[in-house]
């Protein structure tokens, strides 16, 4: 049987991120963390509120000019 070593929450976070970087690379580790973080607010309602005054014809030219972030 092996001895259990206690780690502080900070140490667990550091070692966990180190393991993610080792397996996924820096970009993959960050992407994984983004997927695990809980969101906040009501995305559906916020989207409706923000987009209610826009027409598709107005948004398409802007979307076509925006570079793909991935």
Token pair 């925006």 is found at 66
Q: In whole angstroms, what is the distance from residue 24 CA to residue 32 CA?
A: 9
Quick check: is 21 in a domain?
Answer: yes
Quick check: is 1 in a domain?
Answer: no
Quick check: is 2 in a domain?
Answer: no
Output the pTM of the full model: 0.48
What would the pLDDT profile of 1-33 be if each residue is shown by its tens digit?
456 788 899 999 999 999 999 999 999 999 998
Quick check: is 3 in a domain?
Answer: no
Q: In whole angstroms, what is the distance from residue 36 CA to residue 6 CA?
A: 24
Here the tokens at position 66 are: 């925006």
| Structural domain count, the chain | 1
Token pair 């550091």 is found at 14
**Which domain covers residue 59, as residue numbers?**
9-65
Tell me 52's DSSP state: T
Quick check: is 34 in a domain?
Answer: yes
Quick check: is 4 in a domain?
Answer: no
The Cβ of residue 43 has, within 10 Å, a number of other Cβ atoms equal to: 9
């Amino acid at each position: 049987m092996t001895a259990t070593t206690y780690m502080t929450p900070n140490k667990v976070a550091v070692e966990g991120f180190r393991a993610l970087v080792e397996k996924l690379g820096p970009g993959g580790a960050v992407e994984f963390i983004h997927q695990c973080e809980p969101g906040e607010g009501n995305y559906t309602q916020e989207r409706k509120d923000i987009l209610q005054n826009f027409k598709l014809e107005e948004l398409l030219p802007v979307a076509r000019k925006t570079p793909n972030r991935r």
